[in-house]
Amino acid sequence: MRGVQAFLPLLVGVVPFGLITGIAVSQTGISPNDGIIMSLLVYSGAALLVALQLIQLGTPILITILSALMVNLRFLMYSASLAPHFQKLSSRWKILLAYLLSDQAYAVSISYLEDPSNQKTGHWYFLGAAIAMWLTWQGSLFLGMVVGVNVPPGWSLDFTVPLTFLALAVPTVKDKSTLFSALVASLAALLMNGLPFKIGVVIAAIIGIGIGAMVDEWRSS
């Protein structure tokens, strides 16, 4: 329950974001019912949006999956950071907590988990926060999708898709190196825009990541 409580302040951010993502999802021609099943399967708004966008553009299956999974690679970091705290749990617990892992659940529980005096209750705390996040997310996403399909096309709500990505992209720029990598990736994406099946996006991202890491290494040495 304390995990649920810890999550509550995040509601203010999650609900509008779920609504907006839901509206954006509905603009890719997906019905709310299909959309919620997809969201239960994938449970990642950004990956879902990327995949739906690329499907709409007729991108080959493999590139679509690759692009969407790349957006989710950050969970590998969370998984690594949480692993020692969940080490003693049963496989069932691990599977459940892994499925429910989200940016928000991680953010509100990590400091609690890292306090040695919470060793016995840590997973319950995480579960509470993670379930609260999951319910909030799926609920607001569904609501957004229902709103989205009922808005007339004259409102150009399809434009919420790139705007949502823009709103996600800008806060990931945290310092000079990430700014540089974002700019390189943007420029590369622009130059490779003519390539078929949006494969330019993946290549541009890899270039941006590579150059960012190189500059980082060069500056720190």
Partner 1 sequence: MRVWVIMLALGIGTFFIRFSLIGLLGKVRIPQRVERAFRFIPASMLSALVISQLTSYASSAPSPLTNSYYLAAFVACGVAWKTRNTLLTVFAGMVVLWLLRAIGM
Binding flags for partner 1, 156-185, as an x/- string (CB under 8 A) = xx-xxxxxxxxxxxxxxx---xxx-xxxxx
Distance CA 33, CA 105 (A): 25
Shortest CB 3 distance to partner 1, Å: 17
Shortest CB 105 distance to partner 1, Å: 11
Question: Applying CB under 8 A, which part among 1-9, 134-142, 143-151, 197-205 lies near partner 1?
Answer: 197-205
Query: How many residues line the site for partner 1 (CB under 8 A)?
Result: 92
Shortest CB 143 distance to partner 1, Å: 14
Nearer to partner 1, 5 or 214 (CB): 214
Question: Under the criterion CB under 8 A, does residue 4 sit at the interface with partner 1?
Answer: no
Site for partner 1 in 49-88 (CB under 8 A): 50-51, 53, 55, 61, 64-65, 67-80, 82-84, 86-87
Nearer to partner 1, 5 or 86 (CB): 86
SS3 sequence of the chain:
CHHHHHHHHHHHHHHHHHHHHHHHHHCCCCCHHHHHHHHHHHCCHHHHHHHHHHHHCCCCHHHHHHHHHHHCCHHHHHHHHHHHHHCCCCHHHHHHHHHHCCHHHHHHHHHHHHCHHHCCCHHHHHHHHHHHHHHHHHHHHHHHHHHHHCCCHHHCHHHHHHHHHHHHHHHHCCCHHHHHHHHHHHHHHHHCCCCHHHHHHHHHHHHHHHHHHHHHHHHHC
Nearer to partner 1, 5 or 172 (CB): 172
Nearer to partner 1, 5 or 135 (CB): 135
Site for partner 1 in 95-124 (CB under 8 A): 95, 97-99, 101
